[in-house]
Amino acid sequence: MIIGDRLRVLREDKKFSQGDIEKRTGLLRCYISRVENGHTVPAIETLEKLARALEVPLYQLFYDGEKPPELPNLPKRKSADEIVWGSAGKDARLLSKFRRLLGRIEDDDRRLLLYMAQKMSSR
């Protein structure tokens, strides 16, 4: 079921007109019609407005069960800080040393070092 169909079903179940939703959300009635007919896909913020206007939790716009679906047991992902090289430990100390030393050299030498590093990393 596409999102527009789901919105229409929820709106009709609550016995709201598109005009009622317009008043509750501030969205234009023609926009609501375009969403319901599948001519446009609303942004998440708009979906939040529509869910509030329909007095349903956001997940019900995507799922038609009575309670939220069971979440799968997924492995824990690494955070951005864990992925970034030089953010902690020995790598961070090495990066700090590079920054300090690169700050002391001339621009031409810095460009030469960058060029050499790019060549070495492309092998």
Residue 31 token pair = 């926009």
Report which of residues 113 and 59 the model is more confident about: 113
**Cβ distance 36 to 8 under 8 Å?**
yes
Q: Please give the share of the chain, as a percent, with pLDDT higher than 70.
A: 94
**Which CATH architecture group holds 3-61?**
Orthogonal Bundle (1.10)
Candidates 71, 30, 87, 20; CA nearest to 50 is 20
pLDDT digits (tens, 9 = 90+) for 96-107: 998 999 999 999
User: What's the pTM value of the predicted model, to 2 decimals?
Assistant: 0.54
CA angle 3, 8, 14 (to 5 degrees): 125
Structure confidence at residue 81 (pLDDT):
64
> Structural domain boundaries of the chain?
3-61, 83-121
State how far the alpha carbon of 76 is from the alpha carbons of 12, 88, 96, in Å.
Answer: 40, 20, 29
pLDDT digits (tens, 9 = 90+) for 20-36: 999 999 999 999 999 99
